[in-house]
Structure 1
Amino acid sequence: MLRHGFKRTLLASCLLSAAFSVQADSFQRIASFPVAKNLGPHTLETETSAEIITATADGNTLIYSDSPLGGIGFVDIKNAKHPKAKGFLDLNGEPTSVATVGKWVVAGVNTSESYTKPSGYLAIADVASQKVIQHCELGGQPDSVAVSKDGRYIAVAIENERDEDLNDGAIPQLPAGYVVIIEFDQASGTCQKTHNIPLTGLADIAPTDPEPEFVAFNDHNEVVITLQENNHIVIVDAKTAKVTNHFSAGEVDLSNIDINKDGALTFASSLKAVKREPDAVKWLDNDRFVIANEGDYQGGARGFTIFNKQGEVLFESGASFEHEVVRVGHYPGKRSGKKGSEPEGLEVGRFNGQTYIFVMSERGSVVGVYKDTGAVPELVQMLPSGIAPESAIAIPSRNLIATANEKDLIEDKGPRSHVMLYQLDDKAPSYPQIQSNLDKSGAPIGWGALSGLAADPKQAGKLYAVSDSFYSSQPAIFTIDATQAPAQITNKLVVTRDGKPAEKLDLEGIVADPKGGFWLASEGNEKKEVPHAIYHVAESGEIDQTIPFPAELLENQERFGAEGITLVDDLLWIAVQRPWKDDPKTASKLLKYDLNSQQWSAAHYPLEEAKQGWMGLSEITAHNGHFYILERDNQLAESAKVKRLYKVEISSIKTAKLGQELPTVSKELIYDFLPELKAQNGVVVDKIEGFTIDANNIGYAVTDNDGVDDSTGETFFFKVDKFK
């Protein structure tokens, strides 16, 4: 049983910092639905993906396109907090988009033989029976599908996409794309008349090969169309089936951005005249629309822009959206390069008289929520999402919005593709729980993969964290102000060797040295020539002492080494994550190093039984005569079982020399973090990796987001009151 007297407190339950809109209403994640549940008994071995999502008129059913499975899935959200599988419809092709009209769902389906022989059709299906009643041939490869507000017209972007492996993906690559306007009979669910509207000769870039990406209707049955690779925007009148205007999407200058794939998270570069290359587009009203500038071809504008239909730029986000992605720890540093966080999806919804814009970062796995003010949009919050949010659907009648997150990591035993649900209520935002400030140059402090946590010995609420090997090109110590909510990362200190960012480190543990500086634990990796070692760094960040693991320890080494470090007088204690070759499978080592005698000894820590995967240690911290040790399994989502804090009385620990039989310590369960992790209503993360207790006896814990690499990118920061 847990010891009594500990309060569960989520730091982000307080008000957000001034970076976000000061208002009570916010969107809260209330549920997550892994779309593999629509597959019944085949969920464990079948890849599935929620890409484009829509909802029925009553807001009780979500429908998403699933390209890997070749069909569309249905989700029952009558009880939005407990979504249920509602079935899957095979479309015998690759669905690219879905929309609803009345009792029908329409889906664009790609059946192309090759890039040069594109084909596809529009499937009209009855939602209730989940049966296709008509195939409307399109003559090419469809991408986006939209339905007019009055249900009279369906617009389909026929992209006829380029082959990215041909001539480095350069366009033109024929056949050219176009837009189809279908006159639709809502009563019978049939296509009455089809109009193919050519878009050649409009764009300055590859005018012979327009590649329409996304379509959207306003109330006047005007369709706005993005041509991403052509960096162009077209307006079509659905009634006359004619182009009424077109213009370049233009370019933007960017500053304080990161353009290197080195994982250093250095936001000091600039780019000039970057093509916007929009993907998603949504109308804000009958004159204005917003585009998400993915920049997937030659661009990298990494923001969003508001135009009117005359082609005037009314607002440009520049790098501001990306900076918010960085601040909440969702910047994909090793994958970004010149494309940045790649805003791809958009949704616009009017809730309680206020229009909101939802901007989705595909690579950052996060959604920016903005209020449309008619001028400069007002940032409200950043929403955590699943991996690679592709689209969203607003359901204002129920104060809901749902995101479709396409990435399925079944092959890597990672998170599955999810649909996530959020509800607007009068609470303050519950995410982020930790974020960074701007540095002296006005750029955001880049961070992620927090793997170790330590408290300042004297100042309550002042903490330090380290990032692990994901950011090996710039190992760093972060200063955290935990007295605010969200907690604020106020400084980043790069760990150096000979004045340069230190190499061959995998920092997993940190403890402040009362004499000055820090002690750091680095987990080794023999294959990458990263040594198992302990380092002391000065307050400048320079390594001034190295303590390698001894030979008698290394002769039995494994990949999973030092995960935490703490200091008791002149004794360093190190938690080794998993058993090494000389350990029983049920125990890991607690190493002790005497700074005076330079002698090593150790004890065994008994691990819980792993039902799946493995069990290991993530942190050790000393406080008032006890060690507090984080123990966890490596499981996530529904398989996560052990994310616990145990206590060991220091005076009871007996150690032995390395190579001898090691005594085993006794542990006491103090706290279970699994309820907090489940309370986020997302994918339960596996890596709760940092824990410390500050000078005011307050406990803090943090999760490692794996640098947003094949993860949701979410970092959770918890507070536990109070330790004696």
Structure 2
Amino acid sequence: MIASKRLAALSAALLLSTAGAFAAESFNRIASFPVALNALDAEASSSEIITASEDGMTLIYSDSPGGGIGFVDITDPKAPKAAGYLAIEGEPTSVAIIGDKAYVGVNTSESYTDPSGKLVVVDIASRTAEAEYDLGGQPDSVARNKAGTLIAVAIENERDEDAGDGGLPQMPAGFLVIFDVAAQSLKTVDVTGLADVFGEDPEPEFVDFNDNDEIALTLQENNYIVIIDGKSGTVTGHFSAGLASVSDVDTKKDGALRFTGSQSDVPREPDSVKWLDNDRLVIANEGDWNGGSRGFSILSKSGEVLFDSGNELDHVAARLGHYPDHRNKKGVEPEGLEVATFGEERYIFVAEERSSLIAVYRDTGAEPEFVQALPSGISPEGLVAIPARNLLATANEVDLRADGGVGSHVMVYELAEGEPNYPQLVSDLDADGRPLGWAAISGAVADAEQPGLLYAVSDSVLSAEPAIYTIDATAKPARIIAKTIVTRGGDAAQKLDLEGITLDGAGGFWLASEGDSAKLTPHALYRVDADGKILAEVPFPAALLADEKRFGAEGIARTGEGEDETLWIAMQREWGDDPAGQVKLLAYKPASKTWGAVAYPLETPAEGAWVGLSEITIHGDYAYIVERDNQIGDKAQLKALYRVPLAELVPAELGGELPLVSKELVRDFIPDLAANNGYVLDKVESFAIDADGVGYVITDNDGVDDSSGETFFWSIGSL
């Protein structure tokens, strides 16, 4: 009964009505700051642990790969500005602020077996280091007490994951350091011999003070928590974080989202810890070594488990398209935590590294209440709340610029009246109460008769379970109300990379699959019935495949009936026989089984970029085509909708010169994407026009693989 009530509450929070069944206030992202602006010459730059100045006007984050700390001016939180960077010799791991000083834990270790580190005191106003103190080991987490008189530093002396299968013990042992701010003196606290598992080698991970100057310290790999009196340095309590069991979770990296697995009696292995009050703790159960409980827990100061989230975080992520199937041993991987009181409400914020979400819960004193999920760049690591300004900031550590992706970002959220603007697409539960898992929406088409009803497909990210999703676009957020697996011979069809879908006029669909010879995936069209059963397969003709490139079909649309029925396929990029800057719109007539094409003129890409097509939809007298570049964030220049007169879609035979169609700009999507206050996403992949002539746009999130996992779904109104 309790589980079903929690499930109902989660569904109510996720599935908002258009009238607004949400609380009067919600958190929404209001800005995103690329941290590379603080370190323009750095090859890699990251924001990891983040904190705020006491006046709440400046954010300071640690940047381990860049070797420094960065400053962000949020005087205007909707327009963060680069505010300086301080290079520090070593690898900054964490930072805390007292008054006008920042206290930075810095790893200077020569090796795992010879760890070292220092506590660096930085004057915030001048951006200069004033003093440093030898910590005697490799620091991880740094925290301050409420009065600003004490600093606690977790000295991890981390294990080498490549040594002895990454197991313990690996000496030297870790410990805790307490720094007296006034006396500028250090006190070392020995925490060996306490943990049930490898007690001789504690692995301190995270620290936090309560209002009584008690310190909670997690020993992650030891699955243990230690309570220490901050004034005396005396260990006053210690206990195991315990074991947890989870059911209805996805445990296989198999290209399918099937929430039918379970894990029994796995250690929680907490990363972050925060005091909820002076008697309760909340822990994020990352499960870095042997764990996999994939949730967060609330414990009493004596170790009693008061609440465990079980599979909730995984299920919410799956319903938002954020579940990371490609690396799912630890599920969404809860890692960072923040606890803060806004007005009369106390919130728990859980950063999920692998799903790139922030789960927001309301502390009720008993079981916490799920409030909402926030999108947060790629791999959120740290969080800081600024209740006096109704703000929350996150630090997202991954920098993919070297691979053409987006860099690390700090993101800012505000608590204000109104509904959340994310998620914009969420799935229902199946008949067994499990999430309809989805990701990487890559093509869409509208129902011929019912306004607001769409059908969409996912690409090869979910290669073992290609599917057609039925979407109710009239709901807010839009809802995936059904999931139909594409099958061949009764089993989920293999070797498909679905990138387009259109109605077949008989209750079923035509699907376009983008081929890749290197993966033995054919370039082909597939006709399926309403149940997803493949009825016919149409390979691309030899005349076309002679000049094959990997970037093939990216959308499909249908015109005509009977002998005049024609399928139009948008090819993403030029193949070997295409003139530079032109791409084919293929035409296939099922009745005669003949192929033809016209040429479409692409926009000129910026240096280092390419431009291609990602969707085609036919409505009225026009074919609507989505054209985009492959750039993301500040480099994105082209995400747009064009239209081509149907009168010009007169295909010529393949192998000869193709007629070049004209096009007209309908809408620039970049302002739409930027309105989400993150960075501009690269893949606008789906566009459909419903029975009332309303256009809908959906982005492809790449299945949270080197991606924020964000899916944007919006309407551009009537066309």
TM class by shorter-chain length? over 0.9
State the secondary structure of the residue aligned to 2:72: strand
Choose between structure 1 and 2 for higher RCO, CA contacts under 8 A separated by at least 6 residues.
1
Structure 2 residue corresponding to 1:305, chosen from 294, 297, 305: 297
Partner of 2:99: 102
Counterparts of 1:592-607 in structure 2, within 5 Å, are 592-607=587-602
Q: Distance in 2 between matches of 1:21 and 1:456?
A: 27
Q: Secondary structure of the residue that 1:114 maps to in structure 2?
A: coil
2:581 aligned with 1:586, yes or no? yes
Match in the other structure for 1:7: none
Matches of 1:53 and 1:539, distance apart in 2: 50
**Conserved 8 A contact 1:21-1:380:** no
For residue 414 of structure 1, report the CA deviation from its aligned partner: 0.3
Cα offset for 1:240?
1.6
Q: Do structure 1's residue 149 and structure 2's residue 146 form an aligned pair?
A: yes
**Residues 69-91 of structure 1, C-alpha deviations (whole Å, 9 max, x = no match):** 11111111111111111111111
CA–CA distance in structure 1, aligned partners of residues 190 and 431 of structure 2? 51
Residue segments in structure 2 that go unaligned for 5+ positions in a row: 1-13
Q: Does 1:220 align with 2:220?
A: no
Distance in 2, Cα, partners of 1:73 & 1:466 = 41
1:691 maps to amino acid: F
In the TM superposition, residue 301 of structure 1 has moved relative to its aligned partner by 0.9
Alpha carbon RMSD of aligned pairs, Å? 1.3
2-side partners of 1:650 and 1:89: how far apart?
59
> Which residue matches 1:447?
438
Match of 1:231 among 223, 229, 241: 223
Q: Counterpart amino acid of 1:25?
A: E
- Distance in 2 (CA, whole Å) between partners of 1:537 and 1:376 is 46
1:161 matched to which residue of 2? 158
Please tell me whether the aligned partners of residues 15 and 428 of structure 1 are also in contact (alpha carbons under 8 angstroms): no
1:272 deviates by: 1.0
Q: Which residue of 2 aligns with 1:509?
A: 500
Match of 2:379 in 1: 388
Q: TM-score, normalised by structure 1?
A: 0.95
CA offset digits 1:478-524 (Å, max 9, x no partner): 11111100001111111111112211111000012221211000001
**8 Å Cα contact 1:15-1:429 kept in structure 2:** no
Amino acid at match of 1:352: G
- The alpha carbon displacement at 1:154 in A equals 0.7
Corresponding residue for residue 194 of structure 1: 186
Task: Out of 510-519 and 655-664, give the one that drifted further.
Answer: 510-519
Matching residue within 264, 275, 297 for 2:267: 275
**Aligned AA (1:497):** R
- Work out the CA distance in 2 between the residues paired with 1:107 and 1:431: 34
1:565-644 pair list within 5 angstroms: 565-569=556-560, 570-612=565-607, 613-644=609-640
Q: For the Cα contact (< 8 Å) 2:15–2:426, is it kept in 1?
A: no
Report the Cα offset of residue 635 of structure 1. 1.0
Percent sequence identity over aligned pairs: 58
1:295 alignment partner, SS class: coil
Q: CA deviation at 1:21?
A: 7.4
CA contact (8 A) 2:27 2:420 kept: yes
Cα pair 2:377 2:678 within 8 Å, conserved: yes
Residue 423 (1) aligns with residue 411 (2): no
CA separation in 1, counterparts of 2:611 and 2:403?
18
Q: Secondary structure at the match of 2:543?
A: helix
Q: Which amino acid aligns with 2:135?
A: L
Give the corresponding residue for 2:83.
86
1:559 aligned to 533, 541, 550, which one?
Answer: 550
Encode CA deviations 1:144-188: one digit per residue, 9 max, x unaligned. 000101011110101111000001101111111111111111xxx
Distance in 2 of aligned mates of 1:479 and 1:21: 23
Are residues 1:692 and 2:685 paired?
no
Distance 2:50 2:657 in 1: 59
Compute the displacement of 1:317 (Å). Answer: 0.5
- Separation (CA, whole Å) in 2 of partners of 1:347 and 1:476: 37
Aligned to 1:22: 22
Determine whether 1:65 maps to 2:57.
Answer: no
8 Å contact from structure 1 (residues 62, 74) kept in 2: yes
- 1:507–1:520 Cα contact (<8 Å) kept: yes
* 1:705 pairs with one of 678, 701, 714: 701
SS in 2 for 1:125: strand
Is 1:354 the equivalent of 2:382? no
Aligned counterpart, 1:671 = 667
Q: Report Cα offsets for 1:71-112 as digits up to 9, x if no partner.
A: 111111111111111111111011111000111100111111
Partners of 1:344 and 1:360 within 8 A in 2: yes
- Structure-to-structure mapping, 1:320-469, within 5 angstroms: 320-336=312-328, 338-469=329-460
C-alpha deviation, 1:653, in angstroms: 2.3
Inter-partner Cα distance in structure 2 for 1:679 and 1:362: 24
Whole-Å Cα distance in 2 between the matches of residues 392 and 290 of structure 1? 15
1:669, CA displacement in angstroms? 1.2
8 Å contact from structure 1 (residues 654, 665) kept in 2: no
Which of residues 176, 193, 216 is equivalent to 2:173?
Answer: 176
**What is the CA–CA distance in structure 1 between the aligned matches of 2:22 and 2:670, rounded to whole Å?**
31
Q: Distance in 1 between matches of 2:459 and 2:159?
A: 39
Kindly state the Cα deviation for residue 596 of structure 1 after the two structures are TM-superposed. Answer: 0.8
1:525 pairs with one of 507, 516, 535: 516
* 8 Å Cα contact 2:150-2:178 kept in structure 1: yes
The answer on whether the counterparts of 2:25 and 2:416 sit within 8 Å (CA) in structure 1 is: yes
> CA–CA distance in 1 between the matches of 2:219 and 2:255?
31
How far, CA to CA, are the matches of 1:138 and 1:173 in structure 2?
Answer: 19
CA contact (8 A) 1:632 1:642 kept: yes
* CA deviation string 1:25-46 (max 9, x = no partner): 1111111111110123x25xx1
Shift of 1:697: 1.4
Report how far residue 652 of structure 1 moved: 2.9
Q: Contact 2:263 / 2:293 at 8 angstroms: preserved in 1? A: no
- Cα deviation, residue 15, structure 1: 8.1
Which residue does the alignment assign to 2:716? 720
Q: For 2:385, give the aligned amino acid.
A: A
Other structure's SS at 1:339 match: coil
3-state SS in 1 of match to 2:181: strand
What's the secondary structure of 1:324's corresponding residue? helix
Q: Distance in 2 between matches of 1:652 and 1:115?
A: 67
CA offset at residue 22 of structure 1?
2.4
Question: Paired residue for 1:33?
Answer: 33
Q: CA deviation at 1:263?
A: 2.2
State the distance in 2 between where 1:213 and 1:445 align.
35
Cα deviation code 1:305-340 (max 9, x no counterpart): 01111211111100112111111111111111x211
TM-score with structure 2 length normalisation? 0.96
- Secondary structure of 1:546's counterpart equals strand
Amino acid at match of 1:607: L
Name which of 244, 247, 253 aligns with 2:245.
253
